[in-house]
Structure 1
């Protein structure tokens, strides 16, 4: 008995939980720095200002942990290393998305989609159609990132040609893509949320429809009304876009095989990295077949020999390209940045993972999350606390996957003790984490979509109606009590004043 108590004492001494007021200081520092960096640097905030802000906040966390709670540097360093290792696949995916953005544009795939879209889509219903198309593609692919980087980029070009503001277009694209990602059984976030909370996948998806369907219906109504009331560019401007693209690229229905092949590879559940790699290779081959004149312009050469073609093709994959069409707005549309264009995002993700790693390893996240648990008394307070925790983790860890894991594990036993179904927790986690990650400028999702679409996070945020409505709808449904059951386990629930001991931190979750 004495030995057991001694071991427990040693464990408590080893795991020092900082006071909440201390734990929140690094987050306050981060928010304060970003509040200065974003307005001052504007769209250039991702080119260094935001990264430095994250590193400074990380340094503050390290100083507090080592100075006040005697944490060893090796422990904090390990926390950062684990977090960075976790996002390695995402970094590779980002590089491949950069390759696709270059090869799909220069091969004529995106220009072909834009040209056909200008002839098919009605400007009055473009925003709603844009949202629906992205939703369908995202359900099929199970990936909002892939949807936005491919069909989303094409739709952005169509919307610009029709005279829509980029914030509205990006909002429609993101709303549809995240709706599809959220309810698709192929989505990694959907699977992660259901598995973390111990909920059957299709039980989780069906229960999400209660909040997801009303949110997307309201979103479509808003986009429809906006499309009907907004002024659009006349048909002559759209025709100018289509004609200019046709003059610059060899447009062909055969180029649609590239997105078709990509879709098939996704449907057969080939790993994302392999799918994106094959897609970029096929698009690169299409550059050689359909757009040899584009290679000449990239290489700035009059003859296309092996060395010139190889250099131009490689540049289309990793480097920046600029094609002259005689129209500045179209020049900006067809310009590409390739893999190199993703480096600011990757740098930002690494810095964000450093911040999330030291916050987790120092148990400052655990300290703050205990505050959420104290407010849980009834189903509506449980949902509100879960939403608050999800938003907090998205802002603090800057990673939606880690936020899903932390929120799910934090509230899993609590929901069980209060007799609440696990599907309520899994739905609330998705409503509060998955769809809001793209709204936070320094979150991996927010920074990625801003780079891919070329539209700032704060520019498209007000128009991502589905993403904004989802957490509010989750709270509203909880208040009404619709389809929320509370079982007999509630009588064994701990007192409201009790906190969850040993709240999971990122290190425990990842190792486990």
Structure 2
């Protein structure tokens, strides 16, 4: 359905809780693995400087110990861990393929050519807002943020470097635009997953999604236009961009015929034709490798070395590589294993059963939806689970309170779906940042579309204090 790997649906969140003799896990105990995982991730990022997967490894070990202590059994815990990890294999394949694509396209001259010719076509004063609009349009057609960023995001980010524009601003514009289609495109997996998990029809969900999406889209155009104009106009490299060190390096080391820019077009066309993403990216690597040999006179060892270890040319052009991604691979595996234990042991359902009985009004229900979805995006490190878990768990509560399920649709679309790329350890964030070579913590301040939507939806929740306000909103959404 979608080319974004993280949208491949994992098992149901409320899995079996073990044998009949197993003890019920209290909410306070079920929350411990979540808390430990978050503290572990924060510790390894800011203090210990260990690989990210070690933070989740600690959380997984705690979850395993608790599951065994409450009688879940070693077999159930092992199977849950394996099944959770197995659900990430496809995602890992995508991550490694994207890394290989980036390397091959650097070596073939594809990315350098896009940067070189793009600099001559796009005015630097409009580069930031153009990046946002191009990413939004591409993602609406393809329905995938990762595919959008891995095809045109790298080139635009490189152009921003040449013009001396802050990578944070370029990255924020690109990820904001890419998530427009990831959230709302009719061919997006997350769009249809939201509809499925909330029991709604996809064609009925455009209106509630665009009620918040359109204002943020227009606001992004204004802000990115203003910010981009101001920064590039003051940039000392603007008037001399074509003589920059990057372009001198490109023209010295690469042949730049027009056809070296064909690999991204091939990937875009095949994606639009619904070719499976792994096969599509494999062809992208193969096409790039052939161009590297024929056009740039690269040898086969050069190609294989670049795809495996990454590309680096005088520290001016660099990126990609399968080997540098293995820490991320371990992170994704640990995230899957942790999620599997939480689901199979019943800890996930124990938490939600306790929370939902305390919700009695629409405003708190919307806030809870936003909170659970964002927490799942952070703890489960998976965009799909930020939709599946709250969607399944909260729909009965929406029905109990008489709140339109379209409010649930909008709340999910405005929380975990768009917040996932802002979380450094979330696999969506890893894929997006890998595609454009800009860290999530770098582009976060300018990812206006991503953090603006949760704030807008939260502010709108104050309008829904009782059933009467909910009924009025239901009429507007019909």
TM-score w.r.t. the length of structure 2 is 0.88
Structure number with bigger Rg: 1
Conserved in 2, the CA contact under 8 Å of 1:450 and 1:456? yes
Consecutive unaligned residues of structure 2, counting only runs of 5 or more, are 1-16
Do residues 23 (structure 1) and 30 (structure 2) align? Answer: yes
Runs (4+) of structure 1 exceeding 6 A deviation are none
Q: Secondary structure at the match of 2:414?
A: helix
Conserved in 2, the CA contact under 8 Å of 1:345 and 1:448? no
Question: Can you list the C-alpha shifts for 1:215-266, whole angstroms capped at 9, x where unaligned?
Answer: 2222222222212322322321443233431222111222232222211111
Deviation at 1:375, TM superposition (A): 4.4
Aligned residues: CA RMSD: 2.4
Structure showing greater relative contact order (alpha-carbon pairs closer than 8 Å, 6 or more residues apart): 2
Distance 1:219 1:94 in 2: 29
Conserved in 1, the CA contact under 8 Å of 2:111 and 2:261? no
Distance 1:438 1:403 in 2: 12
Distance 2:66 2:91 in 1: 30
Do residues 351 (structure 1) and 356 (structure 2) align? Answer: no
Partner of 1:369: 352
Deviation at 1:11, TM superposition (A): 8.6
Partner of 1:245: 250
Do residues 287 (structure 1) and 270 (structure 2) align? Answer: no
Partner of 1:277: 282
Conserved in 2, the CA contact under 8 Å of 1:372 and 1:389? no
Partner of 1:53: 55
* From 294, 304, 312, the counterpart of 1:314: 304
Conserved in 2, the CA contact under 8 Å of 1:250 and 1:290? yes
Partner of 2:46: 39
- Residues 80 and 427 of structure 1: is their aligned pair in 2 closer, same or farther, counting only changes over 3 Å? same
Deviation at 1:274, TM superposition (A): 1.6
Conserved in 1, the CA contact under 8 Å of 2:176 and 2:450? yes
Conserved in 1, the CA contact under 8 Å of 2:18 and 2:73? no
Distance 2:199 2:432 in 1: 30
Q: Secondary structure at the match of 1:480?
A: coil
After superposition, residues 172-251 of structure 1 pair within 5 angstroms as 172-230=173-231, 231-232=234-235, 233-240=237-244, 241-251=246-256
- Residues 381 and 15 of structure 1: is their aligned pair in 2 closer, same or farther, counting only changes over 3 Å? farther
Consecutive unaligned residues of structure 1, counting only runs of 5 or more, are 1-9, 296-308, 325-330, 490-512
Partner of 1:497: none
- Residues 174 and 375 of structure 1: is their aligned pair in 2 closer, same or farther, counting only changes over 3 Å? farther
Conserved in 2, the CA contact under 8 Å of 1:194 and 1:200? yes
Question: Can you list the C-alpha shifts for 1:91-125, whole angstroms capped at 9, x where unaligned?
Answer: 11111101111111111111111112212222222
Distance 1:30 1:478 in 2: 30
Q: Secondary structure at the match of 1:40?
A: helix
TM-score w.r.t. the length of structure 1 is 0.83
Do residues 453 (structure 1) and 445 (structure 2) align? Answer: no
Partner of 2:172: 171
Partner of 1:89: 90
Conserved in 2, the CA contact under 8 Å of 1:118 and 1:242? no
Question: Can you list the C-alpha shifts for 1:427-485, whole angstroms capped at 9, x where unaligned?
Answer: 21121111111111221112233333333322222221111011122223343359985
Q: Secondary structure at the match of 1:335?
A: strand
* From 473, 479, 486, the counterpart of 2:462: 479
Distance 1:387 1:147 in 2: 26
